Amino acid sequence: MAKTASPGLDRILTLELVRVTERAAVAAARLRGRGDEKAADQVAVDAMRSELNRLPIRGTVVIGEGERDEAPMLYIGEEVGMGEGPEVDIALDPLEGTTICAKNLPNSLAVIAIAEKGSLLYAPDVYMDKIAIGPGYPAGVIDIDAPAIENLENVARAKGVSVAEITACILDRPRHARLIEEVRSTGAAIRLIGDGDVAGVIHTTDPEETGIDIYLGIGGAPEGVLAAAALRCIGGQMQGRLQLNTDEKVARAAKMGISDPTKVYQMEEMARGDVLFAATGVTDGNLLAGVKFSRDYIQTHTIVMRSSSLTVREIKAKHQDMDKF
């Protein structure tokens, strides 16, 4: 009988990913609000790694905790998984928003994306300029090279509202002073976030729920690839440009195969082919609830999705085998 194999990654992996981010999120959540970013990150890394190593994959971390010499675990190039099964690229951030978690503020997440080998942008840990919107817009509404005013006007027009009804999400950083001024001059509103721009980009996919229409500004490049992977699965548009503003950064990027330091990457160039993405809330957020600890169980809230089918699942899980966490 003919096999009805689905193209791309084995879809069974989709649900397996949930366990990976759930476990990292629970570990980090135990350290919410303790003011210790490093400790929260470390427990999330340990938990994610041990769960990843139970997956039937031959995985390579391509976006991880850092270069091999600066990250003892989940470093870029580390091989994870059981060592059998498909060869995959992995982008991960066991605790996206370490400071948010340490302060117990909204929207810290445990996130992971898996793609076929060679399908994710091998981005160095530098900054990336980003622009993103959610699904439902015609192609070409955003352009990273256009002034923010133009992008906001185009998004408002396509949405059928005035610019004053648009909200942009921007990282609260001194480097964004001019951008913030420009956006405000249009009458648009801004959600200034302290950290967590993976969540910021994902939030553009559900403006009614999150109040965010567009993501703008400069954040981490690894977070850019993770956000692009997520948008590939929900739909939306995103562009990114690495900020390779020193010779040293240009050289580092070149080592990772990036020959044009000023290239604008489209979402599909940052995460190609079949992509799986999962995120579990660590602290409460606009789209995902944080981990809840009660006497008899631990509750987690995860979003898990796959680009080839554009299926988005939300999984609320009650874990009663608490000693395992």
User: Interface with ligand VTB by CB under 6 A: which residues?
Assistant: 96-97, 171, 173, 195-197, 219-220, 223
Q: Which is nearer to ligand VTB, 97 or 207 (CB)?
A: 97
Give CB contacts under 8 A, 24+ apart, made by 253-260: 253/124, 253/126, 256/122, 256/123, 256/124, 257/122, 258/122, 258/123, 258/124
For residue 315, report the phi and psi dihedrals to the nearest 5 degrees: -125, 115
Q: Which is nearer to ligand VTB, 133 or 163 (CB)?
A: 133
Q: Identify whether the C-beta of residue 206 lies closer than 8 Å to the C-beta of residue 287.
A: yes
Q: How far is the CB of 316 from ligand VTB (least distance, A)?
A: 24
**CA–CA separation, 259 and 107 (whole Å):** 35
Q: How far is the CB of 269 from ligand VTB (least distance, A)?
A: 19
Q: Which is nearer to ligand VTB, 71 or 141 (CB)?
A: 71
Q: Which is nearer to ligand VTB, 11 or 173 (CB)?
A: 173
Q: How far is the CB of 173 from ligand VTB (least distance, A)?
A: 5
Q: How far is the CB of 31 from ligand VTB (least distance, A)?
A: 16
Q: How far is the CB of 16 from ligand VTB (least distance, A)?
A: 25
DSSP-based three-state secondary structure for 303: strand
DSSP-based three-state secondary structure for 279: strand
Residue least distant from ligand VTB (Cβ): 219
DSSP-based three-state secondary structure for 324: helix
Q: Which is nearer to ligand VTB, 51 or 197 (CB)?
A: 197
**CA–CA separation, 264 and 198 (whole Å):** 19
